[in-house]
Amino acid sequence: MGLFSKTVSMARYKVDGKFEGQILETVAGGLKKNMVPEIDGKPVEKAVGWTSFENPFEPGFKGSSFSIGTYLVFSMRIDRKVIPAKVIKKHIAVEVAKLLAVSGRNFFSKDEKKAIKERVINALTIRIPATPNVYDILWDYEDAKIWFFSSLKAANEEFETLFARSFNLTPIRLFPYTMAELTAGLTHAQRDALSNISSTKFAK
Amino acid sequence: MLDISFAYSRYKFLGNEFLTWLWFIIEQDRERLKQIEKDLVFLHIGNRIVLENKINDAVETITILGDDAGLEEGILSLGKGAVVTEINLLYKSGDNEWRFTIKGESMNISNLKIPETAIVESSEDIEGMVLEKAYLYEKVTKLIDTLFNEFIKLRVSGKWSEHIVPEIKKWIYSEEK
């Protein structure tokens, strides 16, 4: 589900920290440096990185194409190769049978079996195409706020890590406490009161 | 500011109390809603409301589904000590209508349906579409923020236990009868 979907889910963030240097240049640098790498045909199980909103399967950030008004629009892509356990099991069995026949032995040691398993997984990882998941991001840099178009915990955690690494800024997830602290405009006295409250009983 | 993961657990109850208060406001104090959002036509409970009641170590979850579902069972649950943990809302401002679900604990917004927008036919349409969508998302997140700001200021004030909680209790037990 993304920014243009008919139905969306979102988590919201407040960005902590200030840009060093020009905004667009800094963001472009962070996006390009952390662009999602291609892992098809490689022995890599997972890749996480930025991609363009317009063409998520052809990552690239020409000029300031990601800037629209006061918004920065781009996407995070997580590519993952998932090999079903039964496929791994089958290929290991085939490989073990083949190697036993060639070597004339009756069995392999634990370490040898482990090495065969790793080799099989590696070979399958190269052959299997990665499944991509794309998550859109709308960043209002004037108000330092972000809409991340997914509420999946794992995707949000990947986003937080990648964002901090790319731009040297911390995205703070907005949930009840952080909304009260960062966006509700509470006074010092109200914040002190917040630190002491406990849950209310609405029942008699 | 507190450590984020500690604060998330420590203040989980705040979001649920916010949604419980919001239900009360929607049912009992529509004038206040109009003061909060000038263009508001309506804010209704939608097709889903989830409540949770912690009894000792066990958690009882009550889910009410359906566009015309009666909410009496939800009120009964509130009377037994439950709080709202998730709520689906219908919001109309001017000529536009939104439908969305908020989860109390995380304040995540899901199943958000915004008013119809034009269809993107070429890459030249993208810029305009992003701005239009952003405006429509902004509108609903602004409503949530304004409502939450109103709630949190009440929640940390003396008014909460002196006036608001008794009013909510009065509502719960009058609806139960």
pLDDT single digits (tens) B71-110 = 888 999 999 999 999 999 999 998 999 999 999 999 999 9
- pLDDT of B71: 82
Cite the beta strand spans of A40-80 per DSSP E. 46-51, 67-68, 71-80
- Mean of the per-residue pLDDT values for chain A? 93
A63 in contact with B, Cβ within 8 Å = no
Q: Residue A128 pLDDT > 70, yes or no?
A: yes
Which residues on neighbouring strands pair with residue A72, listed in sequence order?
Answer: A67, A139
- Mean of the per-residue pLDDT values for chain B? 91
B78 in contact with A, Cβ within 8 Å = yes
Q: Residue A1 pLDDT > 70, yes or no?
A: no
- pLDDT of B101: 97
CB-CB neighbors (< 8 A) of A138 in chain B: 130, 134, 137
Going by the DSSP 8-state scheme, the letter that residue A162 receives in this structure is: H
Q: Which of B78, B109, B127 lies at the smallest CB-CB distance from A202? A: B78
The model's pLDDT over A13-49, given as tens digits with 9 standing for 90+, comes to 999 988 777 889 999 999 999 999 999 999 999 999 9
Which residues on neighbouring strands pair with residue A71, listed in sequence order?
Answer: A68, A140
Task: Give the least confident one: A14-18, A19-23, A112-116, A130-134.
Answer: A19-23
The model's pLDDT over A148-193, given as tens digits with 9 standing for 90+, comes to 999 999 999 999 999 999 999 999 999 999 999 999 999 999 999 9
Calculate helix-pair angle for A188-196, B126-155, nearest 10 degrees.
70
Which contiguous run of DSSP H or E holds residue A173? Answer: strand A170-173
* Yes or no, beta carbons of A203 and B79 under 8 Å apart: yes
- pLDDT of B176: 62
Percent of chain A with pLDDT over 70: 99
For residues B162 and B166, give the distance between their C-alpha atoms in angstroms, rounded to a whole number. 7
Residue B108 CB coordination number (10 Å):
24
Question: Helix (H, G, I), strand (E, B), or coil: what is residue B92?
Answer: strand
A173 in contact with B, Cβ within 8 Å = yes
Per-residue confidence at A68, pLDDT binned at 50, 70, 90? very high
- pLDDT of B150: 95
Mutate to test the interface with B, among A199, A202, A204 (most CBs of B within 10 A): A202
Going by the DSSP 8-state scheme, the letter that residue A168 receives in this structure is: S
For chain A, how long is the longest CA-to-CA vector? 81
- pLDDT of A62: 78
CB A69, CB A138: distance < 8 Å? no
- pLDDT of B177: 60
| Helix ranges, chain B (H) | 4-10, 12-28, 30-36, 72-79, 126-155, 158-159, 165-176
A172 in contact with B, Cβ within 8 Å = yes
- pLDDT of A40: 94
CB A6, CB B113: distance < 8 Å? yes
CB A59, CB A52: distance < 8 Å? yes
Strands A131-140 and A170-173, bridge-based pairing: unpaired
- pLDDT of B162: 96
The more confidently predicted of residues B69 and B29 is B29
- Averaged over A96-120, what is the pLDDT? 92
Q: Residue B175 pLDDT > 90, yes or no?
A: no
List the structure tokens of B7.
């604060």
* Yes or no, beta carbons of B8 and A181 under 8 Å apart: no
pTM of structure:
0.90
The model's pLDDT over B121-165, given as tens digits with 9 standing for 90+, comes to 777 788 899 999 999 999 999 999 999 999 999 999 999 999 999
Residue of B nearest to A140 (CA): B134
Which ipTM value was assigned to this complex?
0.91
* Yes or no, beta carbons of B108 and A179 under 8 Å apart: no
How many residue contacts between A and B have a Cβ separation below 8 Å? 134
